Amino acid sequence: MSFAAFERAAPEAIDVHLDADALTLDFADGRTLTAPIAWFPRLAHATPEERADWRFTGGGEGIHWPLLDEDISIEGLLAGRRSAESRESLERWLLVRAR
């Protein structure tokens, strides 16, 4: 049996919502994806104001939080991938943040 290879386009993300527990992404086709905010430590340590300052990047391929230097890909969210930031990197960021 053979399968034809084809490329699926990621659904168009239209909005992002964050609270103390979850990152929620709304798509143009009506779907909603929610991931635990604990998967993304920089977002988990952020203030509500920092979480609210985001923008889509790469023509909708990702989400960027400039105040947190955090980038999350839509593809990664759809695949269920958590942040890949190392503990050492996060600890350095937290130290700089505490100053």
Instruction: Note the pLDDT of residue 11.
Output: 85
What is the sign of the dihedral through the CA atoms of 62, 78, 80 and 36?
positive
Q: 70: how many CB neighbours lie within 10 A of its CB? A: 20
State mean pLDDT over 35-62: 95
Is the predicted pLDDT of residue 78 greater than 90, yes or no?
Answer: yes
* Rounded CA separation 11/67 (Å): 26
Instruction: Note the pLDDT of residue 8.
Output: 60
CATH H superfamily, domain 13-98: Uncharacterised protein PF10387, DUF2442 (3.30.2020.40)
Sheet holding 22-27, edge to edge: 13-18, 22-27, 32-36
Instruction: Note the pLDDT of residue 73.
Output: 95
Indicate the helix (H) or strand (E) that contains 16: strand 13-18
Q: Strand, helix or coil at 31?
A: coil
Of 29 and 1, more confident: 29
Distance of CA 34 to the CA centre of its chain: 10
pTM of the predicted protein model: 0.86
- Among the residue ranges 20-24, 57-61, 81-85, the one predicted with the least confidence is 57-61
> Tokens at residue 31, please?
């779907």
Instruction: Note the pLDDT of residue 18.
Output: 95
